[in-house]
Structure 1
Amino acid sequence: MTAAWVAFLTDYGLADGYVAACHGVIARIAPAARVIDVTHEVPAQDVRHGAVVLADTLPYLPPSVLLAVVDPEVGTQRRAVAVVAGEHVLVGPDNGLLPWAADAAGGAARAVELTAPEFRLDTGATTFDGRDVFAPAAAHLAAGADLSVLGPPVDVATLVRLPDPWLRVRPETIEAEVHVVDRFGNVALAAGAAELTAADLDEHARLRVTVGERSSYLPLAASYAAVPEGDPVLLVDSAGRLALAVNRGSAAAELGLRPGDRVTISS
């Protein structure tokens, strides 16, 4: 993977120098590598949100080393890993952040624990593994290092996985967990076009949406602007998920929804 792309995702934000420090480490080790900043605005310590963004973005990336750091357990005994999946190598903490992206690439094929000291920075710090462990490993891989030199093999079946989002499909009813909320307040559910078809709901012009004790009928449309500004709409989003949105507004704020909440869609 010499001179490969490195795709970089974190919850570091841009107010501090954390992202720049990691960029600098990559540039020193693999100056020919090109970096795609996926995002550095994952909500702080929100592993699930980072996992969703990484999995949704991966299919559109070139063959890459994916450097992903959302790491609330930094400095503990959680493993640091590199995982081969399809044309990609995913580098990051073994806390559930990587497996959904590996699935999107066809599944994890090999993995190692990042323990080899010669592929780390010896700074003495225990709170910035993005700079000292993950960025060096990603850079060495991008520069052509073999995965095996970074540390001992890991059984991919032992990689930490996040719980699958809750979903139940019955005739003319979908019950689904809120999978992710984006910065616009669009609420994507753990269901998509396939579940609409399976529930025989895909031909309905309007569907009943129930959140707690509150129900309303929303149009099933192809775009946000299919309804007047400020009105809610139900659609299949760019990731293929069934989503609740408000044209030029926030469905999350209007409906009081956040990831993990349950929503019922019915006829």
Structure 2
Amino acid sequence: MRIFIYAFRNIWRNPFLSFSTLLVLVLVTFFASILLLVEHTTDVLIGRVSERLSLSVYLKKEIVQESGQLQIFMRELHTIDPSIEVQYQSSETALSDFQERYPGLTSIVESKDDNILPGKVFVQIKSDRQVKSLPAIYDEINTIVEKNQSILLYNDQDSLHKSLVDYQSQYESVARLVNIFEMISRGAFAILSLVIFSATAMIYSSIGNMVFYSREEVNIIGLVGGSKYYLYTPFILQSIIYILVALAVSSALFFTTLQTLSLSILA
């Protein structure tokens, strides 16, 4: 009990140092909470975005669902990760869907004798994944697609047509988006690490200053036979008190800010 009393007495002994330490710790823990929220939100967003992004691999006209090459291609995509969903769409189904969505444009894509819309394979990541795992998954998808280029439809001459049917253009767009989210997540983690280091250094520095401020009293206690436990435990308790108070205040500030922002968005 005397150790607790001594710890609280140290806090009140130098109110300016205690207040400045608490203020800095509150700000540090508050920004750490914001950064954790940013990192979590980034992971959630990349999962949601990935669920909505599908890579369309367009097939040559002679490739049908029963084709052995197509079956091998789809099976290889399935084995990459359980979260990957692979679906085949025939050219007839593609034309039917196009007619339902854009009845006024049907004459552009159909003729009396031929359907110019190709068959395709949809590749989509369905379940939520951590942002760090997505680049590797997309890279594996890309590797398998490149290995099976003999069954794919693309046009090197027409850049506009290529952007619509070439898988590589889609892959590069998705990869850029994933890389942006990944950089945001890594940046938030790096800043968070710096913030935690700063908080630790602040606590160590403030306790060191307090020990220096009380050095005469510490020396007297040591001269009369006081143990190291009794000498330094109050300062350790003091740092714990700083942390607990800072966490309580920053948590209240953080949740109040979130609630205010939520009400502003809903208003």
TM-score, L = length of structure 2: 0.24
Structure exhibiting the larger radius of gyration computed from Cα positions: 2
Higher strand content, 1 or 2: 1
